[in-house]
A and B are shown apart, each in its own frame.
Chain A
Amino acid sequence: MNAASVPPSQPSTPSAAMIRTLGLVATVCGILIVTAYEGTLEAVAANKKLALERAVFKVIPGASSVKEFVVGPTGVQPAGNGVPEGAVKLYAAYDQAGSLKGLAAEGAAKGYSDTVRVLYAYDPEKQAITGIGVVSMRETPGIGDKIYTDAAFLKNFEALDVTLSADLKSLANAVKVVKHGGKQNPWEIDAIAGATVTCKAVGKGINESAQKLLPLLLPHLDKLKAGEPARPTPHPAASPPLSKRGQGGFDSGSASSQRLNPPQPPFEKGGSRASHAEGAAS
């Protein structure tokens, strides 16, 4: 077989030589790759941490350290390896004195060309999103990237309302992206004309993430505030005032204005809550 298929000018190479060469080259390559991996591991991890901190600090001004948590049905836990089923990753930012400056979480939704991932800052006292930053996206340059350059669009996220409904199971009003110039309520996002798809992805990502995260997070807020949420077994009764408030929401029946009451005392939210009611009425 080999005599017929191989041209006479070319001496045939023994199979063993071929396998030996490939095996040898593969071994050398393997060593090279592992060396590079081990050598850069620390720098890459430090880089990733730095990038995360920078992103969180950008949406939460005044913060000086970031801790990662996993918020799930069982409570808040420091982030370990991976995120368990049904849980959401949360970044808590603290200032120098160690008190909670703000919370940040990631939202992601499909944009024009790839998933748009945004980091949003959540202010528990205002019950609002107070800033966003883009984690990653591959939208059209010059069009889709307006979501982080367009000042008018970013103004949407200075106080985007994400108040929980009375039963504390979902948002009172889903975050919605409306056509450019159509924003009427504090939970709406005014899209950029010409970049609607990307804006919708931002809104959808935030809405999905907030709908999931905030109801899980609320009973455990006090622990994050204390700055020592590292207790692995959070007790459901650990925050009595909140659970009581939740109870009150249930009991208060169907009075809609009552339902809109945020469990936390609202600060300077009279105006937006009034428009809340108007929006619901109209």
Chain B
Amino acid sequence: MIPGQKQLSNLEELLEGIWKQNPVFVMVLGMCPVLAVSVSAVNALSMGLATLFVLLGSTLLVSLLRNVVPREVRIATYILIIATFVTVVDYLIQAISLAVYDALGAFIQLIVVNCVILGRAEAHASKNPPGRALLNALGMGVGFAIGLFAIGAVREILGAGKLFGFALFGPDFQPWVIMVLPPGGFFVLGAWLLLFNWLNSRKAAPVKPVEGHAHV
């Protein structure tokens, strides 16, 4: 437990990443894969799951080794551990589906430098016992996957008229191609951030007039 910080319950620890500290919508971390891979729901979900796997594996190892690793070499150790799990997940995806592997391309290897994962290792796993660290990592990973999926689904629906490859609209639907292009990623991310901030600000300050901020 971090001194000066109140102990969270297990459920709160889990929900931290899914809602309160959602890596995509609240912390806005790991934007490189979020924007690049979220062109379709399947890609987004695969990336989310791959990141979740790496997050869980590296968190467990970092947490187990937290009292052994000297401070001076901790970053090197974390990167080594994270790179290991990324390599493992790289092989696993190739074994499961080459189509997904080709679709995700270099972004699987780039999970190594995903700041969500290094951030968790440094800020949480290195200071907490394995159970708690895993719970937090699970929340963060699921939160990241949800964020990716939310963006990927909207982009696929609007940009291709499909969800999970199934056509949703009739043949007359004219896809908004811009949505599957990079600008579309920013549009959809912006829209989700807007929604999240609006929800949070409403919840956080029900008495305070929101208009006050708007005029600043």
Contact = CB atoms under 8 A, between A and B. Distances in A.
Contact of A136 (B71, B88, B102, B180): B102
B181 A142 contact: yes
Nearest to A6: B72
Contacts of A142: 159-160, 175, 177, 180-181
Is chain A's binding surface mostly helix, strand, loop or mixed? helix
Interface of B: 39, 61, 65, 68-73, 76-77, 80-81, 83-85, 87-88, 91-92, 94-99, 102, 105, 159-160, 175, 177, 180-181
A148 interface: no
A44 B95 contact: yes
Given A18-B73, A33-B88, A142-B181, A25 B95 contact: no
B95 A29 contact: no
A40 interface: yes
Contacts of A32: 84-85, 88
A25 B70 contact: no
Interface string A25-56: 11011001100110110011001100100000
A202 B77 CA distance: 45
26 contacts: A13-B70, A21-B69, A21-B73, A22-B76, A22-B77, A25-B77, A25-B81, A26-B80, A28-B61, A29-B83, A36-B87, A36-B91, A36-B92, A37-B91, A40-B91, A40-B94, A44-B95, A47-B94, A47-B95, A47-B98, A48-B98, A136-B102, A141-B39, A141-B159, A141-B181, A142-B180
B91 A47 contact: no
A254 interface: no
Pick the most buried of B71, B76, B84, B92: most chain A CB atoms within 10 A of its CB.
B84
Given A21-B70, A22-B76, A44 B91 contact: yes
Contacts of B94: 40, 44, 47
A138 interface: yes
A116 B91 CA distance: 24
Contacts of B99: 51
A18 B70 CA distance: 6
A275 interface: no
A44 B98 CA distance: 8
A220 to B, nearest CB: 31
A193 interface: no
Interface of A: 10, 13, 17-18, 21-22, 25-26, 28-29, 32-33, 36-37, 39-40, 43-44, 47-48, 51, 136, 138, 140-143
Nearest to A19: B73
Given A21-B77, A32-B85, A36-B92, 12 more contacts: A17-B70, A22-B77, A26-B80, A29-B84, A32-B84, A33-B87, A40-B95, A47-B94, A136-B102, A141-B39, A141-B180, A141-B181
Contacts of A13: 70-72
Contacts of A17: 70
A147 to B, nearest CB: 15
Given A13-B70, A142-B175, A25 B80 contact: yes
- Shortest Cβ-Cβ A-B pairs, 7 listed: A142-B177, A43-B95, A29-B84, A40-B95, A13-B70, A36-B88, A40-B91
A51 B99 CA distance: 8
Contact of A25 (B65, B71, B175, B177): B65
Pick the most buried of B69, B97, B175: most chain A CB atoms within 10 A of its CB.
B69
A108 to B, nearest CB: 15
Nearest to B94: A44
